[in-house]
Every structure is written in C-alpha cells, then in structure tokens.
Amino acid sequence: MKMYNPPHPGEIIKGLWLDPMGASITDAARAMGVSRKTLSKIVNGRGRVTPEIALRLSVALGSSAESWLGHQAAYDLWEIEQHQDDVRAVPLFAPV
C-alpha cells in the first residue's frame, strides 16, 4: 500500500534521530564523514539520500542503508505521481 505524502528522508533524520539524540547537523555530518552543507541540504528537504549517503547514515545512526533508500524512493515516487499527467508514456501493447 502506498503511503500518502511520505516524509522527505531529511524530516526523518531530524525528527527521529537528531532531535531526540540532541545532535546537531554538524555533529551528524562529522560522524558520517560528509560536509555540513551536504547533510543540511538533505535535512532541509533540498538534497537526496544517495546509496553512498544511505550507507553513511546506516553507520552513523545504526539503521539499514536499505531503509534510507526506501524512504527516498517512496518520497520520490509520491512526488512524481503528483505530476503523472506530465509523464509522456503509453502502454507498449494495447490490451486485446
């Protein structure tokens, strides 16, 4: 079942990890081995969780890389479905 308006992964990072841990974006970026700017973009919904970032999140936060990629995929799919009429695709074979 598809989630209605899934949260951006950055909301999850902030709301379920950083805020409860009392950690800053700077602290988390340092633990992940990325720049503060890179993580800030993700947390603020302007960046994406790539496979590399997913792996770094899994190490730093103790979650699975697959779950981070799943959050990003769910968000991306929901976003594109909002503009489905703009997608120029047709069935390869017409039903008989």
C-alpha to C-alpha distances, 36 to 4, 8, 51, 57, 95, nearest whole angstrom: 30, 18, 18, 14, 52
Could you give the count of Cα atoms lying within 13 Å of 23 in the half-sphere of its Cβ?
22
Q: Is the pLDDT of residue 90 over 90?
A: no
Q: Which residue has the higher pLDDT, 96 or 1?
A: 96
Q: What is the pTM of this model?
A: 0.88
Range of the domain at 73: 30-78
In a domain, 25, yes or no: no
Domain count for the chain, please give it: 1
pLDDT digits (tens, 9 = 90+) for 32-79: 999 999 999 999 999 999 999 999 999 999 899 999 999 999 999 999
Contacts 24+ apart (CB under 8 A), 63-71: 68/9, 71/6, 71/7, 71/9, 71/12
In a domain, 67, yes or no: yes
Determine which of 1-5, 76-80, 81-85 has the lowest per-residue pLDDT on average. 1-5
Q: Report pLDDT for 32.
A: 98
CATH number for the domain harbouring residue 48 = 1.10.260.40
CA distance 7 to 44: 11
